């Protein structure tokens, strides 16, 4: 039995370095995602103003006659989808296919935040529990310095893991809201155009 427990101890202890490396990678990745998120937030504010102008035009003119050029500056994918639907003469079947493609593209954009949200706390918990074994062993043998060093690692990995997961969670919620807003705007414009032809 002691052989098996020793094997488990050494395997779990050996995982500490990979966990710390992955947490550092996750931390750097979360900082990069935060930077990109801030840029997207600024572009989103400008897009909302442009969409407000588009909605005002839609109340007065046909959906086929409205100028969607302002959208291109702030959301190229949205503008490209609208242009493609217009090229296909606002056909309902083609429009639905392009809307589904746009949705799938949006869902792919949520993956980085989803990964961070799920893997950050998991790695943080592993980084907390793994050093606890050596810390308890140090406490049992009276090696307070070893125990303190291991506890420091445990607390640091917890904080980093929670930070990484928090960044993933917050950016995921915001991006989901933006994504739903984009899909609703597209459907609104497409359905207006289809209604005008029926």
pLDDT, tens digit, 9 for 90 and up, residues 136-194: 777 778 878 888 888 899 999 999 999 999 999 999 999 999 998 988 888 888 888 77
Q: How many domains does the chain have?
A: 1
Residue with tokens 């100028």: 67
CB atoms within 10 A of CB 21: 11
Average pLDDT over residues 38-57: 84
Split at pLDDT 50, 70, 90, the class of 82 is confident
Helix axes 144-197, 76-87, angle to 10 degrees: 30
Is it the case that residue 84 has pLDDT exceeding 90?
no
Per-residue tokens: 20: 């710390």
> Is residue 74 within 8 Å of 46, Cβ to Cβ?
yes
State residue 29's pLDDT score. 96
Q: Report the predicted TM-score, pTM, of the whole model to 2 decimal places.
A: 0.83
The mean pLDDT value of the chain amounts to 86
DSSP string for 20-82: HHHHHHHHHHHHHHHHHHHHHHHHHHHHHHHHHHHHHHHTTS-TTTS--HHHHHH-HHHHHHH
The per-residue pLDDT for range 10-45, each reduced to its tens digit, is: 887 888 899 999 999 999 999 999 999 998 898 888
The closest alpha carbon to 75, from 108, 50, 100, belongs to 50
Give which of 39, 74, 82 is closest to 58, Cα–Cα: 82
Tell me the average pLDDT across 78-84: 83
Q: Looking at the predicted structure, is the pLDDT value of residue 197 above 70?
A: no
In eight-state DSSP terms, residue 1 is: -
pLDDT at 55: 76
Q: How far apart are CA 60 and CA 192, in angstroms?
A: 12
Q: Using a pLDDT cut of 70, give the percent of the chain over it.
A: 97
The rounded distance, in Å, linking the Cα atoms of 79 and 57 is 16
Say which residue, 56 or 116, is predicted with more confidence: 116
| Gyration radius of the chain's alpha carbons | 26
* Cβ-based neighbour number of residue 160 at 10 Å: 20
Alpha-carbon torsion angle 137, 140, 141, 147, nearest 10: 50
Is the separation of the CB atoms in 91 and 190 below 8 Å? no
Highest mean pLDDT among 55-59, 81-85, 133-137, 164-168: 164-168
Confidence band for 198, pLDDT divided at 50, 70 and 90 = low
- Domain span at residue 183 reads 2-197
- pLDDT greater than 60 at residue 124: yes
């Amino acid at each position: 039995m002691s052989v098996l427990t020793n094997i488990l101890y050494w395997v779990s202890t050996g995982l500490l370095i990979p966990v710390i490396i992955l947490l550092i990678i996750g931390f750097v990745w979360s900082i990069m995602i935060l930077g990109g998120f801030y840029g997207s937030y600024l572009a989103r504010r400008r897009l909302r103003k442009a969409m407000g102008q588009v909605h005002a035009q839609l109340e007065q003119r046909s959906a086929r006659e409205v100028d969607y050029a302002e959208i291109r500056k702030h959301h190229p994918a949205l503008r490209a989808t609208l242009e493609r639907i217009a090229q296909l003469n606002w056909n309902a079947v083609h429009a639905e296919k392009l809307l589904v493609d746009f949705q799938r593209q949006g869902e792919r954009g949520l993956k980085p935040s989803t990964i961070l949200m799920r893997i950050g706390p998991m790695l943080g918990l592993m980084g907390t529990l793994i050093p606890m074994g050596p810390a308890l062993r140090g406490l049992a043998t009276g090696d307070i310095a070893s125990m303190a060093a291991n506890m420091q690692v445990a607390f640091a990995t917890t904080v980093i893991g929670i930070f990484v997961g928090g960044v993933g969670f917050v950016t995921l919620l915001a991006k989901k809201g933006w994504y739903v807003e984009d899909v609703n705007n597209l459907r609104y414009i497409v359905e207006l155009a289809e209604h005008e032809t029926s």
